[in-house]
Chain A
């Protein structure tokens, strides 16, 4: 817990002035960044310090109550366009990080703590992240690699690509492809309205996997020696399967097929209104 002795305040002057600040932080401290328009890069190191470099203009950095806060150096009084800044931040590996903005391009690597990124526009790339990862954009692609824990990826207009992640995963897009590869998850909730879903990963006993799209295809690579019960429904689309399936029921124009592999202990539900559902051998 930071004490007031460690309080550091740096005010960016009215003149465009670079920021290059180092703030010592104890274990358990958090980084909290709020910028209107920025390209933010976050990297990690072994020091118990946070370094913030910003150009062309400065940013406001404060450390209070266990949190290092980074805010725009302009327009705090309201009104006026925000200058776009490029910010590079280096943090201790296990530090929790939160980025929030209007137009943020965020690029975080080597993260060993919790990560939250929220932006209206912009591309989000994360490598790492532990326990809780939340990447939300309104417009922009989300790229998440190597995260572990509760993972929540959401964009309205953009694709989601998640590789090498583990845990409980939620990946929702409205207009964009959702790709989950090399995934080790016990709960997967993947959704897109206009776009396809691709899943290649483990299917663990007792796990629940829901992949749903309106107009795209759903493609699942089924690993060897897996135990899963699959229910796949499409209204206007088709099925393709490398495995024998049973037609469970067919209502007008819609069909559901089911199959069970191994002990059937995991549950997978695949739905597409108009697209094709494919079950592939790996």
Chain B
């Protein structure tokens, strides 16, 4: 279906029509759902194009390039080295474990105490109201405060949990901290990435939940 406006729709979307032309076209659009649909489609195409991102080639092209560079005296040509700016981030487990472990030492060093017998009447520890800013620009900051509060609370109550429970909680914290480190490292390379921001938030929430669980295990005998 064509009318004489169809070919001008891209110009309209780009703001390239004169004011008179624009007014006439907009009058037409209000009565022509087909053209209005096309305008919406064109805007979607433009938006998609502007969001395309760049990707490294699937194959490393550097060896082919290096082979064709005339070598200068006194300069060593490197054949293979660690990528500095790769977009797709990869980690070695030892690297992450080191990062995760450091965090665990900070976060769980204060934590564990034996669980007192749960006979009779026990009242659970009252948790302080945990409020985390809803749309925090930096999830680490928002959750960091809540997590620190919980760690302090656990240290304060200082009751003993049995070693098996401690081990489970520490292993879980190691795993979460490793995942947080991965997400943070990826986010550092691409801070505006919506998925990564959401993912980091979710993962920090898991850590918060786990710490809340740990706190609830410490009871105060009545």
Contacts and interface: CB of A to CB of B under 8 A. Distances in A.
Interface stretch (B6-14, B131-139, B198-206): B198-206
A138 B195 contact: no
Contacts of B206: 174, 193
Interface in A87-110: 102-103
A235 B199 contact: yes
Interface string A131-165: 00000001100000000000000001100000000
Contacts of A199: none
B119 A72 contact: yes
A79 B52 CA distance: 64
Between A75, A156, A249, A253, the greatest number of chain B beta carbons within 10 A of the residue's beta carbon is seen for A253
B203 A214 contact: yes
B179 A273 contact: yes
Contact of B117 (A36, A139, A214): A36
B106 interface: no
A75 B118 CA distance: 9
B117 A79 contact: yes
Nearest to B199: A273
Contacts of B203: 193, 214
A138 B168 CA distance: 8
B90 A249 contact: no
Given A156-B210, A252-B189, A253-B189, A214 B119 contact: no
B87 A252 contact: yes
Given A174-B172, A194-B175, A76 B202 contact: no
Interface string B35-72: 00000000000001001110100000000000000000
A17 interface: no
Interface in B91-125: 115-120
Interface string A255-273: 0100000000000000101
Interface residues of B, number: 42
Contacts of B164: 103, 120-121, 139
Contacts of A138: 165, 168-169, 213
B88 interface: yes
B51 to A, nearest CB: 6
Contact of A156 (B52, B172, B189): B172
A78 B195 contact: no
Contact of B53 (A156, A175, A235, A252): A252
Contacts of A75: 117, 119
A233 B194 CA distance: 11
A228 B189 CA distance: 34
Nearest to B51: A249
A212 interface: yes
B196 A235 contact: yes
B221 interface: yes
B183 interface: yes
Contacts of A34: 118
A129 B56 CA distance: 52
Contacts of A80: 117
A254 B90 contact: no
Contact of A235 (B118, B176, B195, B221): B195
A175 B196 contact: no
Contact of A233 (B87, B116, B195): B195
A151 to B, nearest CB: 19
Contacts of A214: 179, 182-183, 199, 203
Contact of A175 (B88, B171, B193): B171
A56 interface: no
Nearest to A121: B164
Contacts of B217: 120
B208 interface: no
Given A120-B164, A139-B168, A271-B199, 8 more contacts: A36-B117, A79-B117, A102-B162, A138-B165, A156-B210, A193-B206, A249-B51, A251-B51
The 9 closest A-B pairs by CB, nearest first: A76-B119, A139-B168, A252-B190, A214-B179, A253-B88, A78-B117, A252-B87, A251-B193, A194-B175
Interface of A: 34, 36, 71-72, 75-80, 82, 102-103, 120-121, 138-139, 156-157, 174-175, 193-194, 212, 214-215, 233, 235-236, 249-254, 256, 271, 273-274
7 contacts: A80-B117, A138-B213, A139-B164, A175-B175, A194-B179, A251-B51, A251-B195
